[in-house]
Amino acid sequence: MKTKAVLIAGASSGSGKTTLTLGLMAALKKMGLDVCGFKSGPDYIDPSLHKIVTGKPSINLDTWMMPKEYLERSFQSRAAIADISVIEGVMGIHDGRLPDSSQGSTAELAAWLKVPVVLIVNANSIARTAAAIVNGLVDFDPTVNIIGVVFNNVGSIKHYEILEKAVSTYCSVPALGCIPKNNDIDIPSRHLGLYMGEDGILDNSKIKVLADTVSKNVDIDKILLLSEMDIKHTDLFSSSSDNLSGHKPKRIAIARDKAFCFYYEDNFEILKHLGYEIVFFSPTDDTTLPEDVDAYYFGGGYPELYAKALSENKKMRKAISEQSLKGAFIYGECGGLMYLGEFLTTVDGQSYPMCGCLPYSTAMKSGLQSLGYTEVKPLKNFLFLKQGIPIRGHCFHYSQMISNDKNLMENIYTGNPADKAQGYRLKNTLASYVHLHFSSLIEI
C-alpha cells in the first residue's frame, strides 16, 4: 500500500533537525493531517517533543539496536494508519558507529526503509558553497533518496534567493525553503539534551510559531508531493506471544513520571506481546504501589532532579524495599538503578536516601560518565531476559556508582563493551546502566 513519509536529515549535529521536524509536524497538523512521529537513534527526549505536537507517541527507530525486520514493521505498522510520517534523523546524515560504515546512521535508516529524505543545512555564513555541500551529500550514497534541501539560519530573503539559485544551478534536488535566522523558536537544553516535552517548553503559542514559520517559509505542498512511498507490513507482530524467559507474567508496574520518563514506546508493546498487563505508577507522587503486581520496571530519566521528592516519599521507598526483600521481580535501568540504590548524591553534594534494594549508592558528576551502544548477554534468566540471548541497548549517564559492594551482588550480564555490560542482581532485583531495547527478545 501507499503512504506518505519524510525523514529530516542534517548535514551535521546542530543543523536544525529538531526545529524543522517540529515545525513541519505542527504545520501538517494545522492542515488537518494525522501525523506520526519517529526518531532515529536511541534518543528519548526528541520523541517526547514530537508527542506534544502530534498528540500521539513518537517511536524510536535504531538500525543497530533493532533487528531489521522488526524495525521495518515498527515503522510501517504505524505509517499505515497515519496520513504522513515524519522521522527526525540523528547527528549528521552519514554519522554512525564507524567512520567507514553507514552502520547506525540516519542514512542507513533511510536506505532500510526506502523513505524520502529532506536535508537541512545550516546556511549561516555560506552562499554558493551550500550547493557543494548539498551535492556531496546527495552523491555520497546513492541508496539514500534525497528529495530536497531546507536551509536553516537564513539571514534574509536575498540570502535565500542566492542559496536557491546555487542549488538550482548545480544540484539535482530542489531547495524546498528555509528557516529564518532569529526566529524565536529555540528550544532550551540541559544535561542529557533538550528538555522533555512534559516540562512544558512547547506550549500552544510556541507550537503556533513553529507551524507558522514552516508554513510560511517551506514548500510543504512539494514535500507532500515527493513523500509518497510503499509499505508492506500493517501489523507490528506476525506471530503469537512467546514468553522466552519462562517467567509466567501477570502484571508489571512501570514507574512513569517526570523522574522516570526514558522509555522506548516499542518496549511497552513488546511486553504486552509477551503477555504482560501494564500498569503505570509514580514513585514521586504515589504513596502506594499498584495492587496485584508481580514485577516492577524502573526506567531512566531524571531522578537527580527530583531526588528530594523521591527521598521524602518514604512510604513508596519502603514499599519498594519490602517488595525487593520478598523476592518480587524488580528491574531498573540507569535512573532506575540510581533509585534502587541506597543514596543518591546530587551535583551540589546533597545526599538523599533512596530505596536501598541494592548495596551501592550513586553520585552525579559534572561530566558525562558513559556514552555508547552496548550488547549484553544475560548469564541467567530474569523476567523477559533469557540466558544466552543477546539484547542490545545504549548507555548515556552523568552519574557514577559509589560505595559499591560487589561481593553482595551478582553480575548476570556479559557482553560488549564489557565495562558497560554490567547487570547487578540481588535476590530478584536487577539494575543496570544499559537502556535495553526489547526487540531482540522476540521473533517476527
Cell 540570502 identifies what position?
159
Strand partners, 119: 9, 149
pLDDT value at position 247?
A: 60
Helix (H) or strand (E) holding 166: helix 157-170
Q: Which pLDDT belongs to residue 322? A: 97
Cβ atoms of residues 54 and 25 within 8 Å: yes
Rounded distance between C-alpha atoms, residue 51 and residue 46, angstroms: 9
Q: Residue 243's pLDDT is what? A: 55
Q: Which residues are catalytic?
A: 334
pLDDT of residue 85: 98
Q: What is the pLDDT at residue 194? A: 47
Q: For residue range 321-372, what is the model confidence (pLDDT) as tens digits?
A: 999 999 999 999 999 999 999 999 999 999 999 999 999 999 999 988 988 9
Q: Which fold has domain 251-441?
A: Rossmann fold (3.40.50)
Distance of CA 375 to the CA centre of its chain: 17
| CA 283 from centroid of its chain's CA atoms | 22
Q: Are 359 and 406 in contact (CB under 8 A)?
A: no
Distance CA 107, CA 91 (A): 11
Q: What is the pLDDT of residue 182?
A: 76
Rounded Cα distance, 162 and 131, in Å = 10
Indicate the CATH number of 2-230 among 3.40.50.300, 3.40.50.12280, 3.40.50.720, 3.40.50.12780.
Answer: 3.40.50.300
Q: Which residues of the chain have pLDDT under 50?
A: 190-191, 194
> How far from chain centre, in Å, is Cα 159?
35
CB of 238 within 8 A of CB of 31?
A: no
Burial degree of 89 (CB within 10 A; 0-12, 13-18, 19+): buried
Q: How many CA atoms lie within 13 A of 212 on its CB side?
A: 9
Parallel, antiparallel, or unpaired for β 35-40 and 59-61?
Answer: parallel
pLDDT at 407: 83
Domain spans, the chain: 2-230, 251-441
What predicted TM-score, i.e. pTM, was given to this entire model? Answer: 0.93
Task: Let me know if the fold of 2-230 is the same as that of 251-441.
Answer: yes
Contact 162, 175 (CB under 8 A): no
- The residue to which cell 550488547 is assigned: 375
Residue 238's pLDDT is: 75
